[in-house]
Amino acid sequence: MRPDDSRPKILLTDALHPEAEAELRAVATVATLDPTLDTATAVKALYAEVQDAQGLIVRRQLPGDLFDQPNTLRGVVRHGVGLDFIPVDSATRHGLPVANTPEVNANAVAEYAITAMLEGARRFRHFDQQVREGNWGVRKTAGSSTFELKGRKLGIVGFGAIGKRIAQIAMGGFDMHVAAHTRSPSRLPGNIAALALEELFERCDFIVVACPLTEHTRGMLNSKVFAHAKTGLILINVGRGPVINEPDLVQALESGRIAGAALDVFTTQPLPMDSRLRAHPNVTLTPHLAGTTGDAELAMGMMAASTVLALIRGERPANIVNPECFANREPLSVTSTTPWRPCSSACRQPM
C-alpha cells in the first residue's frame, strides 16, 4: 500500500525530462524502473510495480502479456510515436486506453534527416579525419567528391508528421524535389508526387525511411527494391530497423548498389558488435536518437504527463490510439484492493 493512497501511482519504464517528472510528482506517486537492472530483472520489476499503478509511461519494449497480469491501470502512454513497444491489441481487449505523443518530436527527427543528407553530400567526417591526419591537400578532391542538396531529388517512405516536416525543410530550405511512397497518396500535397517504391529508388538521390513498423512494412525495403537504386543513392532510416532487410542492405552497400547510409535504428538494438554495418566506411551509425533533443524530450515528457493524468481521470484525450478499447472497459470496482480516489484539484489543472 502506498503511503498516500489518495495520490495515483504512475510507473515510468525510464526517466522523463525533469520538468515533466516534476509535474507528475506534484500530484502523483511516481515510480521508475531502476536503469541499472539487466533486462530479465527489469521485466520482473515491471510486473511487480505495475500491479498497483494507475498510469504507465513507456519508453522501452513491454512484455506481450503484461496487461494479462493483475493490475489497476487506467491508461498507458507511449513517450514517442511508434507503438511497437506496446501490445496495443492486448490493451484493447482489456479495455485499456493507449496514447502516444504524436508530432512533438517530428522537427527533431526531420533535422536529423537533413543533417544526414548534408553529411552524405559534403562528407564532413571524411575531411575532418584527413585534416587530423595532416592531409591538407585533400581539399583538391572536394570538387569531385561532394555536391549540393539544391535541386537534388529526395524520396520519403512514409508521410506522417515526420515525413511532412522533412519535406518542408528540404523544399523550403534547399529547393529539393520531393516524392513520397505512402499508403495514403491522396493526402499528399500537390507538389509531392506519389511513387511506388521501385520508382522512388530509381529517381532519387536520397531516400529517407520515416514509416512505422507494421506487418505491411516489415522487410519492405529489400534486395528487390535496392536493385532499382539510382547510382549514388544514400539511404537514411529514422523509422524502424526491421523495415529494412538488413542483410540485403549490407550486400547492396558492399556491392556499391547503394552508395551510403545513415542509420539510427536497427533490426537488433543495440547493434551487434559483429554487424558488418560497423565496418563500412560510408555508413553513419547512431543509437536511436534522431528524435532525442532537449527540446523534444521536454515536449514529449510534458505531453506524456498531461495525457496519463487525463486518462487516470477517465478523460479521453485526442491522442488515444485505440478508442475501441472503451467498448471492452469495465467500470472501476469500489472494492478494488488498491483503491484510488480522485486526486486534488491541482491534478485537474491544465498542464
Higher pLDDT, 2 or 321: 321
CA distance 56 to 208: 32
State the cell numbers at 253: 552497400
CB contact set of 57 (below 8 Å; sequence gap of 6+): 10, 11, 12, 13, 16, 76, 77, 79, 304, 305, 308
Residue showing cell 486534488? 344
Average pLDDT, the chain: 92
pLDDT of residue 328 exceeding 90: no
Query: How confident is the model over 76-121, as pLDDT tens digits?
Result: 999 998 899 999 999 999 999 999 999 999 999 999 999 999 999 9
Q: Is residue 2 pLDDT above 70, yes or no?
A: no
pTM: 0.84
Give the per-residue pLDDT at 4: 57
Q: What is the mean pLDDT of residues 276-305?
A: 96
Q: In what order do the strands lie in the sheet with 283-285?
A: 193-194, 177-181, 153-157, 206-209, 234-237, 260-263, 283-285
Q: What domains are there in the chain, each with its CATH number?
A: 9-103+294-348 (3.40.50.720), 106-285 (3.40.50.720)
Per-residue pLDDT tens over the stretch 48-81: 999 999 999 999 999 999 999 999 999 999 999 8
* Residue 197 pLDDT greater than 50, yes or no: yes
Task: Look at residue 5 in the predicted model and tell me its pLDDT.
Answer: 66
Pairing assessment for the beta strands 75-78 and 98-99 based on DSSP bridges: parallel
Q: For 264-272, what is the mean pLDDT? A: 97
pLDDT score recorded for residue 6: 84
Rounded to an integer, the average pLDDT of 204-223 is 96
For the chain, percent of residues with pLDDT exceeding 90: 91
First to last CA, the chain: 28
pLDDT confidence tier of residue 350, bands split at 50, 70 and 90: very low
Tell me the mean pLDDT in the region 337-344.
35
Percent of the chain residues topping a pLDDT of 70: 92
Work out the average pLDDT over 6-15: 96
